[in-house]
Structures are given as C-alpha cells and as structure tokens.
Chain A
C-alpha cells in the first residue's frame, strides 16, 4: 500500500521528561523518522564547577527525581575515588540496599504506572485506580514497599538525606531492618500476583526483534548493580578507566540530550541489557518470574525491557532480604568516615534503573570540583531507540495510524527514558 503518514507525537506521555516522535511517510517511503529530545537543558556539569566536594552529591541528586539515589551514589563513588576515601563493608551493604529500594521503586513505577496501561487498554493508571483493578492495587503496594525502603535507608524517598562522602550520616536500627525484612517477605506474593496479572496481558507487547550491542556492569559473584567492570556483548569486558572509549558522546541538532555509540551505530543499556549479560547470576525468585514470561538470555525484543524490569524487582527483593540478614548477623556500627582533601580525578559507575551511569569528577587542592562529566543511561539509549524505530516502522507501516502511533509510543516507553536526566520530552508526528 502506497500510503502517506504524518505523525507528530509531541510530548510523548507517561515517560519522564519531554520528547517527541516525528514520522513522515510519502507514497510508502519514509521521508523522516526522528526521536527528538526537547527538554530544557539544565547544565549540571557547568553548575558543579567550583563546588565543594561535600556538595556534589546533594546537587547531582537533583538531576533526576526518579533515580536520585543512583545519581547520589555515582556522585559519592566518583568523589571518593578522587579523594582516595575508603568505605566500609557496612556502607557498601547499606548502599546496595538503597539502590535495590530505588530499582524497585523506579521499575514498578514504569512497569505499573507508565507501561501497564497500554497492556490493560487504558490511557493511564487513573481509570484503573478508580475501578480498583486488582493488578493496580498490587502495583501500588509494591511501590509503597519500595518507597518505605528508601525512607528507611536514605531518610526519604526522593533526594536521599543520609548519604555522605565516606558513609552515612545516620543508620537504621536493627529493629527497623527486621521489620523491613518482614515487609519484603510479605511483598513476594504481592509481586507474584502482579506478575500473574501482567502475564495475562503480555501478548499485547509487539513481537519485534533487533539484535544490538548491550552494555552493562558485570561482576564475578553477583548480579552487578553497585559495582563491577563494564561488559559489552560485542567487545567483552573493559576496565572502568576505559569508559569514555565506550560511550563516545555526540550531539544532534534536534535533541538537547546527547547520543552515544560504541562498536556499532547504537547500543542498549538498562534492565534488558543487564539481563542479557548477567542473567545466570539472578536469584531463584527472579528466575521464576523470568520463566513465567519465557524470558531467556539473550533476548533482542526491546519491548521486553519492561518484563526484564519486573524480573529485576524480584531479584532486588530477594537480594535485599539477603543483605538485611547479613546486616542483622553482623550488627550495625556508627562510623566516623575519614575524609582528607587531596587533588585527583575519580570515576563512579553503577547500574541505575535505566542502565549504566557514569560520574567523573576532578577535584582540586582546595577540595573543590574543577571539572565534572555525567553520562546518563537515557543518552546512551537514544541512538538505539532511533535505530529500533527505523527497523520497526517498515514492519507496521500498513496498519491503522492509531496503531502505529501507539506502537511507537510503546517502544519509547519500553526504554523507560528519563529525559530530565538526559537533559527532558517526546513528540510523534504522522502525515
């Protein structure tokens, strides 16, 4: 069919930030297909210049309201690496717990509030809430559980308060950890029930595959989130110091967020990339959820990123229980982190909900930041979203316009872009 399409989805909805999609088709030929980021740029890297090392975490936390814990931890890791600050095992355990809390919060927000309405045939979660849809009630419960975890470890859910260079300003009590453990145990069945409801509708996810390069942290003994080396499915394992040769940022005029490329035109980061690289290290609950959806590694369907997130929620719940057990067994000790100023450069990398995040700071003799660079997961996914759209559109071009629009929106949503992070917005245009 020689059709004409002019689609402009301006400000794609149910994503974090402002982006748009433009698709122009004339007589069956794609004339323009573009993923645009329209977010107002916020210039964090410029803002950090001259700031004292103690302030960097509080400021960079404000890059993103959804993954403020991730940005805070990347910031602390970079600062600690630059200053040569050693942190205790206890601090690592508590930080891993905080990161799990955020991973659960952000993933369930995306799976449940942003992506699931497409599966349940609703425009948003609001009509589902009004009808007290069973799946949604379970989703809200998991969301609350994840937030209570962040409240306990970080002092609040958004923009953590208890983090500082070298450790924590305040610790939870063992009793509080014990009751969090109970809540997590109770949450497992809630998650199973939510997964069951989603499984019943998962056939609405488009069956589309495009193999690409996947990049994520990897570690020897655990499913890497807080630390590891950088792994690429194309080129193997790289030390962190080589990260710039992996990310290669570049700018396009239609986007205030930068794009990246490594071995080919684009690569993917996030839950599916981590799953493709590290699936064997998942715990039994996560494997059970993956099996429910027939998700096996490698999987090349970007729409399955949402399901990989659900699998990771299970893993975060299970690993959090294990971490709490370890903390309960060893007890908690108030620490006085020793921080001395010394000039240097430090790189902090970790896996945040949407993929691998890098902060890179140079600190001068006065303890002030002289240069900062932050490379954010959504920037790394931008080129892959574009390439996926280019492969997807020809396969759906003869479908009704509404369906094409919805499929493109769902594709972008599957990546769970965090556009504020990458700078903010999404539009789709059809003719």
Chain B
C-alpha cells in the first residue's frame, strides 16, 4: 500500500503548500508514489488515516495546539514544512511585543476578551509544541528539497540537510559577494540547501533556513567589521526569520 500523506496548515502564507502545486508535472509523479489523503488548500477529500503529516505554519493559539496534538497522535511521521513551521519565521517578529500590544495595533479597542479566535500566545515553531521528525526549511521551501526529503522518508532513509553555510553554495555559483555590493547577508551562518538563491539575485541572505548550530560566529563578526556594517542595522536584518526575543503573554 502507498504511504498516506496529509498536509495541514496553521499560521502561514500557504506559499510552501503552493510549492507542491508548483511542482507542476512532477506533482503527478509524487501522487504516483504516495496517496495524498488530506490537503485542505487543494482538495475536498479528507481522511483521518495518514502515515505522514506535513505541517505548514506556526502555532499561535491554544485552539491550534489542540489541533496539532491530535495530528501528531494520528501520524507516524511529522514533517515541518517551511520557515514558519521549522523555526517560527516571520511570525516570531511579533514576539518582541506583548500579545495585547499587537492586538491593539491591528484590531484597535475591540473587546476580544475570551474570544478563542483572538486568544494568542507568542508565536511558536511546530517543534515547540510537538515532536517533529523531519524538516524542510526555507521561505518558501525549495521544491527539489521537499521531494528529496519525502522520498527519503518513504524509502525509510534519514533525510539529511546540509550542515554547511549558504556561502559554500554561493562560492560554487561564482557569485559576487553581496557584502561587496554594500548589502548585509546572513549567508555565512545560515544553513545551505537553497543554492544561495538570494545572493544569486543580488539580495542578502535573510536566514530563512535557520542558523547552523555550529555557525562560526567569530568569523561572521570579522566579516561585519571588515565591511563596517553598523550593529543596529544588522540586528534588524538578523531578526526577520530568527527573532529570539520573546515577551510572555
């Protein structure tokens, strides 16, 4: 029997799910080796019996935690899809303010007390709520990497993500370093696997694939000193997908 795959989404732009459709003709190949049994954005059919749950999005509310825990219980394998699910992504940017503060900024004085739809806590990645088995990082995900990870899971192999920085791929592509163009780039400390797509298009890496655990921070600081990047400017760019500040409530 083919493995049964279900796709679920929480707080996200659903751009990573869109990448599944963007596989175009390859999506046809994918559905030859797996049965997609639930994928709300793309299909009405739904089944609660699945082996692999693919989760897009961050977790923002108690009602979402309940839903996620049920999914975890039903699935043998959980795959986090994209930056929002893997590391919290742009959703964590709001964690530097209290929930009350951001609610007021967006919804004004409306009385939302006790309304579960608006009952938020600081944004969390999926693995801050349930165990995640495998990750497909990126904002958005790289379609080829998704196929690789899913194929490995189906074949019973451990999917491996690169453990070297984006700089390695960037050098292989013989790109001009974007620091030379006066830009800020997180390529030296960010996990590779995107084929250095941002610097290739003359944008600094924003760190959407998350930082390497053993990133060489000293060497990175040397680069920043060399190019005289002001601290406050790079701190802001550092934040976009990897905001570590968290205010409770």
Contact of A424 among B11, B25, B200, B201 (CB under 8 A): B11
Contact of A47 among B14, B45, B93, B233 (CB under 8 A): B93
The reply on B151 being an interface residue by CB < 8 A is no
The reply on A46 being an interface residue by CB < 8 A is yes
Contact B197 A420 (CB under 8 A): no
Residues on the B chain within 8 Å of A44, using CB:
106
Contact of A40 among B11, B19, B106 (CB under 8 A): B11
- Cα(A420)–Cα(B14), bound, Å: 7
8 A Cβ contacts from B1-57 to A: 9-19, 21-22, 24-25, 27-28, 31, 36, 39-46, 57
The reply on B70 being an interface residue by CB < 8 A is no
Which of B27, B39, B44 has the largest count of A CB atoms less than 10 A from its CB?
Answer: B44
Assuming the contacts A52-B236, A123-B43, asked whether A169 and B203 have C-beta atoms less than 8 A apart, the reply is: yes
Contact B140 A159 (CB under 8 A): yes
Assuming the contacts A16-B14, A124-B44, A155-B197, asked whether A256 and B91 have C-beta atoms less than 8 A apart, the reply is: no
Assuming the contacts A59-B240, A158-B19, asked whether A14 and B41 have C-beta atoms less than 8 A apart, the reply is: yes
Contact of A66 among B15, B25, B42, B115 (CB under 8 A): B15
The residue of chain A having its C-beta at the shortest distance from the C-beta of B41 within the complex is: A16
Assuming the contacts A40-B61, A46-B102, A420-B14, asked whether A55 and B40 have C-beta atoms less than 8 A apart, the reply is: no
Contact of A158 among B15, B31, B64 (CB under 8 A): B15
Residues on the B chain within 8 Å of A14, using CB:
40-44
Assuming the contacts A43-B102, A113-B42, A129-B31, asked whether A59 and B93 have C-beta atoms less than 8 A apart, the reply is: yes
The residue of chain B having its C-beta at the shortest distance from the C-beta of A159 within the complex is: B140
Residues on the A chain within 8 Å of B57, using CB:
40
The reply on B117 being an interface residue by CB < 8 A is yes
Assuming the contacts A51-B236, A123-B45, A256-B118, asked whether A45 and B105 have C-beta atoms less than 8 A apart, the reply is: yes
Interface magnitude class on chain B: 35 or more
- What is the size, in residues, of chain A's interface with B at 8 Å between Cβ atoms? 63
Contact of A46 among B64, B89, B106, B200 (CB under 8 A): B106
Contact B120 A40 (CB under 8 A): yes
- Cα(A292)–Cα(B249), bound, Å: 56
The residue of chain B having its C-beta at the shortest distance from the C-beta of A425 within the complex is: B40
The residue of chain A having its C-beta at the shortest distance from the C-beta of B241 within the complex is: A62
8 A Cβ contacts from B95-135 to A: 97, 101-103, 105-108, 110, 112, 115, 117-118, 120
Assuming the contacts A40-B64, A47-B90, A47-B93, asked whether A109 and B21 have C-beta atoms less than 8 A apart, the reply is: yes
Contact of A58 among B28, B36, B106, B240 (CB under 8 A): B240
Residues on the A chain within 8 Å of B28, using CB:
129
Contact of A123 among B15, B44, B110 (CB under 8 A): B44
Residues on the B chain within 8 Å of A52, using CB:
233, 236
Contact of B201 among A11, A169, A254, A256 (CB under 8 A): A169
Contact B90 A11 (CB under 8 A): no
The reply on A91 being an interface residue by CB < 8 A is no
Which of A16, A43, A117 has the largest count of B CB atoms less than 10 A from its CB?
Answer: A43
Assuming the contacts A14-B41, A65-B18, asked whether A424 and B198 have C-beta atoms less than 8 A apart, the reply is: no
- Cα(A125)–Cα(B45), bound, Å: 11
Residues on the B chain within 8 Å of A13, using CB:
40-41, 43-44, 46
8 A Cβ contacts from B56-86 to A: 57, 60-61, 64
Contact B140 A41 (CB under 8 A): no
Contact B43 A124 (CB under 8 A): yes
Contact A114 B42 (CB under 8 A): yes
Residues on the A chain within 8 Å of B64, using CB:
40
Residues on the A chain within 8 Å of B110, using CB:
251
Contact B18 A162 (CB under 8 A): no
Contact of B202 among A39, A117, A125, A169 (CB under 8 A): A169
Residues on the B chain within 8 Å of A55, using CB:
236-237, 240
- Cα(A158)–Cα(B197), bound, Å: 12
Contact of B115 among A170, A253, A424 (CB under 8 A): A253
The reply on A210 being an interface residue by CB < 8 A is no
- Cα(A45)–Cα(B9), bound, Å: 22
Not counting A13-B43, A42-B94, A161-B197, a sample of 18 additional A-B residue pairs whose C-beta atoms are within 8 angstroms of each other reads A13-B41, A14-B42, A16-B14, A18-B40, A43-B102, A45-B105, A59-B90, A65-B16, A109-B21, A113-B21, A117-B44, A126-B31, A126-B43, A130-B31, A144-B25, A155-B197, A162-B201, A169-B202
Using a CB–CB distance below 8 Å, which chain B residues touch chain A? 9-19, 21-22, 24-25, 27-28, 31, 36, 39-46, 57, 60-61, 64, 89-91, 93-94, 97, 101-103, 105-108, 110, 112, 115, 117-118, 120, 139-140, 197-198, 200-203, 206, 233, 236-237, 240
* Contact sample, A vs B, 26 pairs, CB 8 Å cutoff: A39-B11, A40-B60, A41-B60, A41-B117, A42-B11, A45-B106, A55-B240, A59-B90, A62-B139, A64-B14, A65-B16, A66-B14, A68-B15, A109-B21, A126-B43, A130-B31, A147-B22, A155-B200, A158-B18, A162-B201, A162-B202, A169-B203, A256-B117, A420-B13, A424-B11, A424-B12
